[in-house]
Amino acid sequence: MKKHCVELHQTGQFSQFFLDYIGGKDELAPFYTHYPKLESFRQAIEQKTFSEGNRKVLVDALQTQYANQEVGSAVSSNIESLASDRTFTVTTGHQLNLFTGPLYFIYKIVSTINLAKKLAETYPDYKFVPIYWMATEDHDFDEINYFKLDGKKYQWDSDQTGAVGDFELDKSFKEFLKSVAFAPEVFLEAYSSSKTLAEAVRKYVNSLFGEEGLVIVDGDDAKLKREFTEVILADLFEHTPFEKSTAATDALEELGYSSQIFPREVNFFYLDKGVRERIEKMESGFGIVNTDLRFTNEEMRALIEKDPERFSPNVVLRPLYQEIILPNLAYLGGPAEVVYWLQLKGVFDHFEVPFPVLLPRNFALIINEKVQRKMGQLNWEVEDLFVDVEHWKKTFVKAEASIDIELDKQKEIVSTLFDKKGKEAAHLEKSLESAFEAGKVRSLKIIDQMARKLRKAEERRLHTQIERACCIEELVKPGGSPQERVVNMMQFYLSNPDLILELLDCFDPLDFRMMVLENES
């Protein structure tokens, strides 16, 4: 693929909050520890504390999670290396979208793998393991139960509830699978040979990225949750995370930045088969929303001690959970993800957990030969791919019009004439000035109507060029949203099985620009 880069602020796709963070705005410095650059990792390595006991728990948990799956040497080696105090992780996470969901799922993982490689080159005395954190505990099925390909939506409908990782690939899923028989074998094999959604995602992600040594972590694990009991207790009984995150949220809002996440007094869900519901503090003990489950304070403490896997952190505490159970140095996420972590540094400081380097994943737009050809016909540069087409159309039609379609000169003449004659007429009768003013307004409206007719006529004359621009927009911004947030990887992978290898070759995890990639397939 041929790569072109565009500054993020030129794309119109990113919030000022995010742009200020990656731009190093001074006011945001108190909300993170390390600026996102390669040199920051030396300090991150020195600050990260992770005991031998923590490492043993992690390795044991991972070996159990991979027990029923064929694992390549790169993954096995990386898991075993996590027992060493010279091994660290870099992590991304995502929901269990069907068939990977939007393209940025792939971009996250590729960025993370390439960061591990770059760190290995820069700090050869250490080993760096790329991690994909499976959001198996998420319960928002409507967000993940579909993917879009060639403008069509493919959706699995299920009445199952609870954590989506536990969803069984039942008869309804097998019927859905028939509708996507065109999918690559890597997906069909993973889904058809798995009992649950989590199992299937682990299989296809491992098939796609296992050779790169990507290790997949499922946080829904009793061994790992036990490492988190101190935080569970502090959240439920002291509400410390709420206090710390709210303070940071208020401080950011005073600087003019909108909240990305909204802390609660209790930031855990109760997790069981078919159930993931919020835990709420009650007048006496705790209750589980939308259920009849109630616990006294003593019963809740006993449950935390006995079954910590029953407690699932929400978006406020999932980052902390990740950093407690992994020897992690960096988290790579999308623009909204990166900035919501800035609301959480006070929580990390309270529990004395090092705050990782926050990096945006790579951003990309893949254009095919059709788009490239139309760009050439319009004399567009890559920056033009991000213009607002309606604004471009107005400017283009005015510039290419065969006559003056704005009629500005005519409006000026008419306006001057009515103003002049109105003043003259006022000497005869005062009310005539108002009559001439009203006549001017009516006349200018008529000229505006004529101008719109002229513009429409010019648009019809220039319809070929305008259609080309609209076609480009639909391919690079389908339905008005950026391609990477809508289109599934199969849009390109089906015709180009080397897609992931080419992305690995193109992506630079420390280059915070939009990549425009010319796909030759």
Q: When comparing pLDDT for 227 and 403, which is higher? A: 227
Query: Is the model more confident about 447 or about 406?
Result: 447
Q: How far apart are CA 496 and CA 67, in angstroms?
A: 32
- The number of angstroms, rounded, from the C-alpha of 417 to the middle of its chain's C-alpha atoms is 58
Contact (CB, 8 A) for 365 and 53:
no
Mean of pLDDT over the chain: 94
The pLDDT, as a whole number, for residue 237 is: 97
Whole-structure pTM value: 0.91
Nearest 10 degrees: Cα torsion 283, 288, 290, 294 = -70
- Cβ contacts of residue 16 below 8 Å, gap of 6+? none
Q: Of all residues in the chain, what percent carry a pLDDT higher than 90?
A: 83
Q: Band of the pLDDT at 303, cuts 50, 70, 90?
A: very high
Do 16 and 304 form a contact (C-beta atoms < 8 A)?
no
Segment 154-170 mean pLDDT:
96
- The DSSP result for 177-227, as a single string, is HHTTTTS-HHHHHHHHT-SBHHHHHHHHHHHHHGGGTPEEEES--HHHHHT
What are the residues facing 270 on neighbouring strands? 277, 311
- Residue 141 pLDDT grade (very low, low, confident, very high; cuts 50, 70, 90): very high
Residue 151's φ and ψ, nearest 5 degrees, are: 80, 0
Tell which residue, 114, 337, 350, 338, has the closest CA to residue 244.
Answer: 350
Contact 92, 111 (CB under 8 A): yes
The predicted structure's pLDDT at residue 489: 96
CA 116 to mean position of chain CA atoms: 20
The whole-angstrom distance between residue 371's C-alpha and the CA centroid of its chain comes to 25
Token pair for 89: 């992780």
Q: Which amino acid would we find at residue 331?
A: Y
Q: What's the whole-number mean pLDDT along residues 147-154?
A: 94
The pLDDT score that the predictor gives to residue 405 is: 65
pLDDT at 272: 96
**Euclidean distance between CA atoms 147 and 156, whole angstroms:** 9
Rg (CA), the chain: 29
Residue range 431-469, pLDDT digits in tens: 888 889 898 889 888 888 887 787 787 778 878 998 999
- SS3 (DSSP) at 511: coil
The per-residue pLDDT for 395 is 83
